[in-house]
A and B are shown apart, each in its own frame.
Chain A
Amino acid sequence: MTSAVSDAAFADALIAEIDALGARTYSEIGVPAFLVAEDLSPNRTITSPRSEPVDDLAAKLARIAAAIATRRPALDAATIAQLLEVLADRHFMASATPFSRTVALHPLPS
């Protein structure tokens, strides 16, 4: 029961976070993103990845994807974009406070 409530609260918070991010004025702000690199060239060479803790990042994306599925069972492209946006906002800077809520990075416009 506790877990179910906790999962519901996590999903609620995620939806609120998506809404808050979506309310920003995208046309005149900086928006962090993680873009996945793919080498589709004919002579592609893939070497070993570096040691950045990316498994953790993937796990975080998997967790929020599972949470959103409880509210929006039909996953679509826009929802994926929102999940990636949340992921980047939370983890782009590797700090405890999400990028969009780091006050020092968002002084009021003059």
Chain B
Amino acid sequence: MPSRLLLPEMAQAALASLLHGIASARAIRVVNFHATPRYRQDEFRAQIAAFATLFEPITIANLPAAIDGSWPHARPGLIPVLFEGFRDNLDVMLPILEENGFTGWFFVPSAFPKVPADEQRAFAAAHLLHLPARDEYPGQRVALNWDELRTISRRGHVVACHTRTHNELRTDTPTSVLEEEISLAKAEIQGELGQDVDVFCWLRGAELGVNPEADRLLRRVGFKYLFSNYRIQRLA
């Protein structure tokens, strides 16, 4: 089945809803990164430094204020998102974020860190985890490991759940797959980090309403936020 963005409603209705949300001051600035190779380090540093002159960091603690309209700062907030759990997110991007006072939001497929190093490139290729054009870790692992993710979390950044295997939600995704990609993924990350994981995002960013069974499960296991292609939805 070809991949495509799924919506819980007709596209015109989705557009109308987005227009209303933006007109109601509900637009949150996010900048999405995936691989962050060192050969683009100067680019990332220039961009994050520019963001620091304009925006306040959004953290897990102040996200509710960014959502409910009680944001206390004169400057808008910004969420730097790092998808996929690549090792270069720590080696290259984390220092740049910290130099500029931003909280990084690291969305990790929970199975990726424990894939053996010599299998990670094949796993990435099979699960739409796109590595940089130039391999900067020849012969080594390309994924963050759990020690590194614990360090990232301890330093105040957000580790979020990006499913277990970088999975895309469909309207007919089987219950067993939902259990693995939602429940097991959350349990794995929480077990490794020793703390709650509140934020979830599907591959391709399906939002609430695409699959009601998935929605119920997200809420039942305790996710508080769903990041999607167009929205950040607070669930609890």
Contacts and interface: CB of A to CB of B under 8 A. Distances in A.
Interface of A: 25-42, 44-50, 52, 54-55, 57-58, 61-62, 65, 75-81, 83-84, 88, 92-94, 104-107, 109-110
B6 interface: yes
Given A33-B31, A77-B7, A77-B14, A38 B50 contact: no
A101 B113 CA distance: 35
Instruction: Report whether over half of chain A's contact residues are helix, strand or loop; otherwise say mixed.
Output: mixed
Given A42-B236, A61-B18, 17 more contacts: A30-B31, A35-B228, A36-B21, A38-B234, A40-B234, A46-B69, A47-B69, A49-B25, A49-B69, A50-B71, A54-B27, A77-B14, A80-B15, A80-B230, A83-B15, A105-B43, A107-B43
Nearest to B54: A93
Given A28-B132, A94-B54, A38 B21 contact: yes
A84 B35 CA distance: 22
B123 interface: no
Interface string B88-124: 0000000000000000000000000000000000000
B34 A28 contact: yes
A29 B93 CA distance: 12
A37 B30 contact: no
A89 to B, nearest CB: 11
Contacts of B175: none
Nearest to A88: B29
B40 A35 contact: no
Interface of B: 4-7, 11-12, 14-15, 17-44, 46-47, 50, 54, 66-71, 76, 80, 130-133, 208, 224, 227-236
Given A31-B32, A93-B50, A49 B26 contact: yes
Q: Of A30, A42, A84, which is in contact with the most chain B CB atoms at under 10 Å from its CB?
A: A30
The 3 closest A-B CB pairs, nearest first, are A49-B25, A36-B21, A27-B130
B11 A27 contact: no
Contacts of A92: 29, 31
B26 A29 contact: no
A71 to B, nearest CB: 15
A42 B235 CA distance: 8
B71 A34 contact: no
B171 to A, nearest CB: 13
A35 B34 contact: no
B24 A49 contact: yes
Contacts of B7: 77
A55 B70 CA distance: 18
Q: Of A33, A35, A52, which is in contact with the most chain B CB atoms at under 10 Å from its CB?
A: A35
Contacts of A46: 68-69
B11 A106 contact: no
